[in-house]
Structure 1
């Protein structure tokens, strides 16, 4: 049998021609993001709010993972997690992050960069209260990013906390909370044929105005 390389197995396709023009962009990048996000919601994606979050240690060692966007407004982009996880530890020593949304049916991606701050306890409590009870108990059972002997050990911890809380409310663990990424730059990418993609970057100037620049693909 003829050997096949990894490259032979990769799907190859050409992007469709849906131009992104400067005149079509909103002056405010949050408005532009919300326009695209609404279109992503209507595209059939199961998780249009899925985003990659990149963090780094103080000495610049990076890591990245997928999380779900849980809030966005003029203050920034919010996600929730265990504050003692790897990303939590990295954000404690280097409070900056980069986000990436990729919406394949629309051949679009959005990159966001900025400083990171903790959401308030009230915000975290309010969001935690909306989570399914099983997920609330998992926040207690899982010491995120820490080693564990087996799946069975994790499930035992979950069962123990489920018994502990019984039919009553589950309080938010002190080590569980939310982060808000406060953007200082956005980039909007639209796939185009022949890899001549459209890219526009928004950066905030010293006087607070968003400056839009077309980038080469």
Structure 2
């Protein structure tokens, strides 16, 4: 089985992107501006769920974890994700406040990598994000059992019930739940990867931004 899989993997190739290309010399000085440009181009190119990313964290023992999740918001410095305090993701973000993100848009041959420290959002930002959730997602947050062992599917169905009914049980005036919050990854380093195009003589491009004392420095990396 393993030899068969090895042969199968050997036959796979990196896709040749069909897209707008990338000129690092013309890239903006602010990497968040470039990220917005690339995200919009990914959506325009038909990349499914272009706002989905891989979030990597570490636990208190230094063991890594990664999962695919959704980008909730982005501002001048931080990329925001949602997680319950009681979930493995939330515990790791809270106890070891560093994280890395990867966006992958294969149709364009592009990746964006983000690394930085983690902080929590203020109440107003958290409440606004919670209000944007679907009734089902808010119900799951209210139940607050994410990632715990599921011993009884019927219990889960009963606990969630009709999401609209469960949401109505929230305290009057409450706009979120105590354990649900937004976590911001303050970008200290961002890398933009552009795969080589259809031209066989081309090569991958890698542009890295590093932030020091509030200013961004840029450098090209070897493919």
Same fold by TM-score greater than 0.5: yes
Any stretches of 5+ residues in structure 2 without a counterpart?
A: none
CA contact (8 A) 1:51 1:101 kept: yes
Match of 2:126 in 1: 124
Deviation of 1:53 (Å): 0.5
Q: 1:137 to 1:198 in 2, by over 3 A?
A: same
Q: 1:16 to 1:65 in 2, by over 3 A?
A: closer
Aligned mates of 1:5, 1:78 — CA distance in 2:
41
1:185 correspondence with 2:185: no
CA contact (8 A) 1:102 1:109 kept: yes
List, as ranges, runs of 4+ consecutive aligned residues in structure 1 with deviation greater than 3 Å.
7-11, 16-21, 160-171, 193-196
Give me the TM-score of the superposition, normalised by structure 2: 0.86
In the TM superposition, what whole-angstrom CA distance separates every residue of 1:140-188 from its partner, at most 9, and x where no partner exists? 2241121120322211110187545449877522101110111010000
Aligned mates of 2:205, 2:166 — CA distance in 1:
54
Aligned mates of 2:15, 2:141 — CA distance in 1:
42
Aligned mates of 1:164, 1:204 — CA distance in 2:
44
Aligned mates of 2:165, 2:139 — CA distance in 1:
10
Match of 2:92 in 1: 90
CA contact (8 A) 1:52 1:65 kept: yes
Q: How does 1:51-62 map to 2 (within 5 A)?
A: 51-62=53-64
Any stretches of 5+ residues in structure 1 without a counterpart?
A: none
Match of 2:8 in 1: 9
Give me the TM-score of the superposition, normalised by structure 1: 0.88
CA contact (8 A) 1:82 1:176 kept: yes
SS at match of 1:131: coil
- When the two chains are superposed, the root-mean-square deviation of aligned CA atoms in Å is 2.5
Paired residues in the alignment total 214
